Structure 1
Amino acid sequence: MYSPLIPAQTEQLPIRGVSYHVNCWGQGLDHNAPLLVLAHGWGDVGASYQFVIDALGADWVAQRQIIAPDWRGFGRSEAPQSVDSYLFADYFADLEVLLAHYAEDARPIDLVGHSMGGNVAMLYAGIRPERVRKLINLEGFGLPDGSPAQAPSRLRNWLDQTAQARAGKLAVRPYASRQAVAERLIKTNPRLSQDKALWLAGVWAKELENGQWQVLVDAGHKVSSPLVYRAEETLALYREITADVLAIEATDCSLSQFWDGTYTVAQYHERLQSVAHHTIRTVDNASHNIHHDQPEILAEWMREFLAY
């Protein structure tokens, strides 16, 4: 099984009514060091950046305060006691409180976000442009543009799904063993090696008293948002971003798989034109989980792009 070269420290923080689990590396508990925040994607956990941390190297990591929180309802962060679904506004507010804790002097910080975390990072950089110095977006593409006509069906679907969640019909099924969790991860990403999959299984899931393994994701995350996604609102926030943005995508790009051609990479690149300072780079031999597939290349690009 994979053994981390630079193990994380962890702490639990009270953030807006829930206990947040935060992974910390380098000077992670020294609030005077430059802050780098790593935001994970849907269904993932902050610890999944461990391979990138190791590839960055001890000397580089030692100069930074690096944190990777588990978003609410993921990993070892609590889910709210009364929640039917999760909204991006909560992620923005949680991130705001985290930054107030780890960067008390309100200095600009660096953000890296993968998938959902990349979308959160991009939008937050438009909400609080003065807080973000540089941003790396790992396949945080956004969604196909919606229309007002979709509102009735989305709200009906949301009501139906919240009822299913309350009835336990959206519960995340357990796995027979840690090995079974690892096999599930490899099925999703065939490039993932067995040793890394086994290690990830231990942070992505936990062993229950009956010996089964439960993935650490609240069922409420399976409920679709009641809100219609409007690309114009996203572009308005993109235009507010003052940070330098590095948008990284994989050659085996996930966008074409997600939306069956209704939202394309070309459309995503067109949206990025609203970001004043941005660069697009592509990683070879990688799929959606770039931080798992090519951590050494990602680390090299991070060192270059995030240099002071």
Structure 2
Amino acid sequence: MRHSSAEGKEIEFQLPHIRLSGRHWGRADKPLLLALHGWLDNANSFEPLAKHLQDYQILAIDWPGHGFSEHRPGAYPLHWIDYLYDLEILIDRISEQQTLAGLIGHSLGGIVAAAYTAAFPERVTKLVLMEAVSPLFESASKNNQRLRTSFVSHLRWAKKRAALPTVYDSIEVAIKARSRLTGLEEKWCRLLVERNMQQHDIGVSWRSDPRLKLDSPIRLTFEQVDALMTDHDVETLLITADAGYEQITTLLPKAEVWFNRLCHVQISGDHHLHMGNARAVSESIDLFMSQ
């Protein structure tokens, strides 16, 4: 791992099964926080937060298929469980050099972090979840249709994968499209899109793995998630947004039951509150980490 200045630098981990890229902010003598981004985001999503968390190193990775990280090989369907293994091996690699002070996860990153710490509480001292509580779940009655839908979409994509990627004249098209779709401010969309696209002589195309947008073949049931999350024993800060995802709010009563040591704060902002309201989020994290 290459350490960096407060301005942030590119980092890279060649793990046994895949290459991960990311960004690192802060001095090497500060406590280290590992940051995990959300679906279709990348390490850049933590840049606003890193500018406020001056008392820490922030190491933000790109999940496989996102940002500058390697795509998973082949053309098989992706599943969120794979991220747990990525995280396990990454924490092993980091621990060879220094102690991990805490784990921060936003959205998908929070889902992975919550599940990982539920299964391996001895590996992480403190956990910060932003707009995430647990793995997604659905009724077992939907298994058959989900599996069929997933395979159909992946087989359709596999037949087209040899085709040249769609090239756009400018990155501005993607920035405006994401802003319209998500409501996220254009400046934050730009920060994300710049890392998820690549430049060509005639324009730009997506760098992200197309499979990320296809249905997973299976989802856990509530019974499975409930069994996994019950007696979650890692000290946890849950940060939600007052204009965030509604399903997060509906899970709050479950979170109070699942987590043995939970502190919940709600902050003004949308789902990407760690970008749009980075100062307030950083203040909550600072207070939590200092206790």
1:9 is the counterpart of 2:13: no
For residue 296 of structure 1, what is the aligned residue in structure 2?
Answer: 279
The CA distance in 2 between the partners of 1:124 and 1:10, in whole Å, is 25
Amino acid at match of 1:44: D
Aligned pairs for 1:1-308 (under 5 A) are 6-27=6-27, 30=28, 34-57=31-54, 60=55, 64-104=56-96, 107=99, 109-142=101-134, 145-168=137-160, 173-190=166-183, 192=185, 194-211=186-203, 213-255=204-246, 265-284=249-268, 286-307=269-290
Give the Cα–Cα distance (whole angstroms) in 2 for the partners of residues 33 and 100 of structure 1: 19
Partner-residue secondary structure (3-state), 2:51: helix
Task: Tell whether the 8 Å contact from 1:38 to 1:111 is kept in structure 2 after alignment.
Answer: yes
Contact 1:70–1:77 at 8 Å: present in 2 too?
yes
Aligned residue pairs total 286
Unpaired segments ≥5 residues, structure 1? 257-263
Contact 2:169–2:202, Cα closer than 8 Å, also in 1: no
Gap change, CA 1:87 and 1:300, over 3 Å in 2: same
Assess, with a 3 A threshold, how the Cα gap between structure 1 residues 49 and 155 changes in structure 2: closer, same or farther.
same
Cα distance, 1:67 vs structure 2 = 1.0
Return closer, same or farther for 1:65/1:104 CA change in 2, 3 Å cut-off. Answer: farther
CA contact (8 A) 2:104 2:128 kept: yes
For residue 67 of structure 1, give the secondary structure of its aligned residue in structure 2: strand
Seen in structure 2, the aligned counterparts of structure 1 residues 191 and 201 have a Cα distance that, compared at 3 Å, is closer
* 2:50 aligned partner, one-letter code: I
Paired residue secondary structure (2:52): helix
Contiguous gaps of at least 5 residues in structure 2 = none
Q: Per the alignment, do residues 105 and 210 of structure 1 end up closer, same or farther by CA in structure 2, a change over 3 Å counting?
A: closer
Following superposition, the deviation at residue 265 of structure 1 comes to 2.1
Q: Which amino acid aligns with 1:283?
A: I
CA distance in 1, matches of 2:101, 2:224: 24
| Conserved 8 A contact 2:111-2:135 | no
**Distance change >3 Å, CA 89–CA 144, structure 1 → 2:** closer
Tell me if structure 2 keeps the 8 A contact 1:127–1:240: no
Distance 1:187 1:12, change over 3 A: same
Verify the 8 A CA contact 2:42 2:192 in the aligned structure 1.
no
Alpha-carbon distance change, 248 to 21 in structure 1, aligned in 2, over 3 angstroms = same
Q: CA offset at residue 195 of structure 1?
A: 4.3
In 1, Cα distance between equivalents of 2:182 and 2:219: 30
Take 1:26 and 1:166, find their aligned partners in 2: how far apart are those partners? 42
TM-score computed with the length of structure 1 as normaliser: 0.83
Whichever residue aligns with residue 41 of structure 1, its letter is: G
Contact 1:45 1:203 in 2 (8 A): yes
- Identity of aligned pairs, percent? 23
Instruction: Give the letter aligned to residue 183 of structure 1.
Output: K
Deviation (angstroms), 1:51: 0.6
Deviation, 1:247, is 1.1
Going from structure 1 to structure 2, the CA distance change for 1:296 and 1:249 (only over 3 Å counts) comes to same
The amino acid across from 1:274 in the alignment is W
